[in-house]
Amino acid sequence: MTTTETLIAAAEAHSAHNYHPLPVVVASADGAWMTDVEGRRFLDLLAGYSALNFGHRNRRLVEAAKAQLERVTLTSRAFHHDRYAAFCEQLAGLCGMEMVLPVNTGAEAVETAVKTARKWGYKVKGVPSEMAKIVVAGNNFHGRTTTLISFSTDPEARADFGPYTPGFEIVPYGDLTAMRSAVTENTVAVLLEPIQGEAGVLVPPAGYLPGVRELTRERNVLFVADEIQSGLGRTGKTFACEHEGVVPDVYVLGKALGGGIVPVSAVVSSAEVLGVFRPGEHGSTFGGNPLACAVALEVIAMLRTGEFQARSAELGEHLHRELGALAGTGRVTAVRGRGLWAGVDIAPGHGTGREVSEKLMDRGVLVKDTHGATVRIAPPLVIGKEDLDWGLAQLRAVLGM
């Protein structure tokens, strides 16, 4: 057996089979490239589902982490630490908001947003006790906790995990009329991904997000934007909502906020909204820890320069031009996305998303399929144009062009 086969067999023997990874075992990585245990190099066109927007082991971020490792890494929130205030202030500033509630993973941040919206509903809006409703969209992906899968429409994510958490109304994504009908006086929030990532990089129709903004403002409902995957430069702007000129009431952030080094997530909003919490009502041992804050502060400083957003916009235009050309060949049925983020639907007869991903792996390119026919492309924003072009050439070759 090769080293790869031995390690995969050992993982399969001792790890729950809750993922179906491609058969590659990564040993090191740098920028947009990964190297496996056999010494083969792979171009990373997935970027940890956007957790690696700044590339693997980004020098600035590694230095920030190293410096913090030499000072203090964890205090718990029982005490203050000297990176916390700056992190909260800087992140709120980046979002144009006032307050931050830091946690760790994406799912934990969405859970936090759900609790925030409910508490705001009862304490500020005056919704009767236990009656709060949150409107969400079909095909959403907000994470894997029991509450979050309670409003998933994906049978794989839901089946056999009930009983489910009540209090959610699901409407079709992109359908403003359905959204309008679903909002009642007990609705506390609309929770949406401004672009649905796991669903296959679905961009809603123009006018949808501004329509949701108007509706939520009219009905005194919080607009909660889950920008965990779409935010922090991925689409060519800091937030995907910006493409439609929309500012939500609440941002939910994660993934790239931790610079691909540590899990960092947060809910960011106004003082009116996040001010509803009192000591003891919510928290996390690791949320807002010194190491997380140090890395995230560097991430925020990098985003403040605007250069990553600009690069994503510029290279993204090139990516979509190249992928758009594939759509006319009969081998690809649709290409969606914004910036350095694309969902590519492979035409029937030209391989499933998984088969295309495996063939790309054999050619030294790593991507991941979703929902059968779709391949997602989301390279680190620091990828070189030549590397991206080489990756796209491999895709064309796999599609027989």
Ligand X SMILES: Cc1ncc(COP(=O)(O)O)c(C=O)c1O
Active site residues: 141, 226, 255
Residue 52 engages ligand X in binding (rule: CB under 6 A): no
What minimum distance in Å lies between the beta carbon of 196 and ligand X?
A: 8
Residue 229 engages ligand X in binding (rule: CB under 6 A): yes
Contacting ligand X (CB under 6 A), which of 55, 102, 121, 143? 143
What minimum distance in Å lies between the beta carbon of 49 and ligand X?
A: 5
Amino acid at 18: N
**The two structure tokens encoding residue 71:** 């000072």
Instruction: Count CB atoms within 10 A of the CB of residue 139.
Output: 18
Q: Which is nearer to ligand X, 13 or 16 (CB)?
A: 16
Site string (108-137) toward ligand X, x via CB under 6 A = --x---------------------------
Helix axes 290-304, 307-327, angle to 10 degrees: 70
Contacting ligand X (CB under 6 A), which of 141, 208, 251, 308? 141
**The two structure tokens encoding residue 165:** 């958490």
Q: Which residues of 266-289 are buried (b: 16+ CB within 10 A; e: fewer)?
A: bbbbeeebbebbeeeebebebbbb
Using CB under 6 A as the binding criterion, the count of chain residues that bind ligand X stands at 15
As a whole number of angstroms, the distance between CA 124 and CA 50 comes to: 35
**The two structure tokens encoding residue 317:** 């235009």
Query: Could you give the residue ranges of the DSSP H alpha helices within 121-175?
Result: 146-150, 155-158
Residue 228 engages ligand X in binding (rule: CB under 6 A): yes
What minimum distance in Å lies between the beta carbon of 198 and ligand X?
A: 5
Q: Which is nearer to ligand X, 94 or 191 (CB)?
A: 191
Residue 369 engages ligand X in binding (rule: CB under 6 A): no
Site string (184-223) toward ligand X, x via CB under 6 A = ---------x---xx-------------------------
As a whole number of angstroms, the distance between CA 395 and CA 314 comes to: 21
Contacting ligand X (CB under 6 A), which of 4, 8, 30, 49? 49
Residue 149 engages ligand X in binding (rule: CB under 6 A): no
Contact between 264 and 54 (Cβ < 8 Å) = no
What minimum distance in Å lies between the beta carbon of 14 and ligand X?
A: 22
Residue written as token pair 């995990």: 161
Q: Which is nearer to ligand X, 147 or 394 (CB)?
A: 147
Q: Which is nearer to ligand X, 228 or 273 (CB)?
A: 228
Site string (150-189) toward ligand X, x via CB under 6 A = ----------------------------------------
What minimum distance in Å lies between the beta carbon of 152 and ligand X?
A: 11
Residue 105 engages ligand X in binding (rule: CB under 6 A): yes
As a whole number of angstroms, the distance between CA 349 and CA 24 comes to: 26
Residue 231 engages ligand X in binding (rule: CB under 6 A): no
Q: Which residues of 83-96 are buried (b: 16+ CB within 10 A; e: fewer)?
A: bbeebbebbbebbe
What lies within 8 Å, CB to CB, of 212 at 6+ separation is: 176, 179, 190, 192, 223, 246
239 alpha carbon, distance to own chain's centre: 11
Q: Which is nearer to ligand X, 142 or 320 (CB)?
A: 142
Binding residues for ligand X (CB under 6 A): 49, 105-107, 110, 141-143, 193, 197-198, 226, 228-229, 254
